Every structure is written in structure tokens, then in C-alpha cells.
Structure 1
Amino acid sequence: MAEIVFPLWRSISRGLSHHCPSCGAGRLYGRYLKIEPECAACGHRLAAYPADDGPAYLTILLVGHLIIAPLLVFPVVWETSPIIALPILLGGLTAVVLAGLPRIKGGWVGLMYALQVTDAKARLHTSDAAD
């Protein structure tokens, strides 16, 4: 069990820091959320790991539960005029989501690497494979 857990967390932490989950040296992204086709340092094929909707769902879940829900407890949110509160809150939440999404996507790719889930294996479990 210990031999599975260590590579799992190592791969996820490498992804969270925007590095290749295989070697930890190469860059994971070429642009904001565009994953490099392969690692420049070790040549590992990074585009093989599916990161479709999972990172977006996880980002929304975390932001909703860790930021929005506790924020609603403070009366200042309800007592302030919506004309003032909404732009401030929505701007702040947008910044948090845009800053967090690349990290969460990197961690997701690291998780897929550690679990050895590739696009080819992921297609085996979709409804299109049954048709």
C-alpha cells in the first residue's frame, strides 16, 4: 500500500506545481491551460491523460464550499447594497477560480498519471464504447 501512496502524492504535487508528473522537471503547460504534448525534459507524453471536465467541477466544488459558503455567514455581505457587493464578490471569485484552475488541472493530470489512466483507457468506460 505504501508503494502506491508515495508515487500518487508525488505525481499530484508535481502537477499542482505545473511540472511534469513523471520527472518533475519539465513544464506541464505551454499556455494558461494548454497542456504540452510531451515533456521537454523526459519526453513523456503528457497529452495522453484526460483532464476534460473533472478539474472544472473540482474547482467549482472547492470554491463553492471553501469560499462562498463561509462568506455568506458574514452579515456585511447581506447588508451591503447589491450594486457594490456583487461586482466585488464576483470579481474576487473570478480571480480565485482563474488562479486555482491551472493548479487543480495540474493535480488532476498528476492523479491520472499516477493511476495510469490514459485517453485510450478512458474511452473504454464511456457510453460510446458500448455502441
Structure 2
Amino acid sequence: MSDNAVHVHERPTWPAIMTGWKRKCPNCGNGPMLKGYLGVRKSCPVCKEEFHHHRADDGPAYLTILIVGHLMAPLLLLVFETWRPEPLVLFTIFAIGTVALSLYLLPRLKGAMIGYQWAHRMYGFGKAD
């Protein structure tokens, strides 16, 4: 390593992801990362870490669809094969469950994805500490 190289502190990945999952700033762990349901703040109100350059885009939505689909589809088959409920009852229960799980996961996965980007210094999170 040369004398001119900037020493960059390592950012642990899993703590940043878990802090993002809680929708908190991955830098300080206290400030809210999101404003409203899915809007990302320009910066953390506590430590002033900037978030405006994140690139979560459609990733959280794709992950939400993947997780909800892989949980609800086998559960739907299990419930149908085991209890054979009326189709309208089955539809109602699984429609509500799918929507509720999707609404729960989407902002948390967005926060986790931004936490991952912060930990790996991606898309503008790479300035030296």
C-alpha cells in the first residue's frame, strides 16, 4: 500500500443490512432513513449521512415478490390439500395475507438494500470516512 493511498475504514455488511431493515441510518443507527412509506430522505437528520445517491430502484419490489411468492404458493397448496376450504374463503384469506406481507416487507427490504449499498460503498456511498 502506497503512502498516498487513503485508508478507508471497513463497513461491516450484516449490521448495515439489519440497521437498514429497521429503516434506520446505516451510519449512525439512529436517524430515520425513510420519510413516509418508501421515500428516502436526502440525508440522515442525526449524522448527516447522505442518501440521495442510493440506487435501490426496483430491487426491493423484486425481492418482495420473490419472498412472498415462495412463502404463499406452498402455503396455499398445503391449505388447499389439507382442509379444502371454499374457493372464496381461500381467495380472501390468501389475498389479504399476500397484500399484508408485501406491505410489511417492501420498506424493510428497501432499507436493507440501501444498507448493503452503504456498507459496500456503492453509488456515491464511497467517500472516505
Shorter-chain TM-score bucket reads 0.7 to 0.9
Distance 1:119 1:70, change over 3 A: farther
Q: Which runs of 5+ in 1 are unaligned?
A: 122-131
Separation of aligned partners in 2, 1:100 and 1:24: 19
Separation of aligned partners in 1, 2:88 and 2:76: 17
TM-score (norm 1): 0.79
Q: Which runs of 5+ in 2 are unaligned?
A: 1-8
Q: Which has the higher helix share?
A: 1
Equivalent in the alignment of 2:60? 55
Moved more, 77-86 or 22-31: 77-86
Q: Which has the larger radius of gyration?
A: 2
Shift of 1:101: 0.8
Equivalent in the alignment of 1:68? 73
Shift of 1:77: 7.3
TM-score (norm 2): 0.80
CA RMSD of aligned residues (A): 2.4
Q: Is the 8 A contact 1:71 1:77 kept in 2?
A: no
Counterparts of residues 27-42 of structure 1 (less than 5 Å): 27-42=32-47
Matched, 1:80 2:85: yes
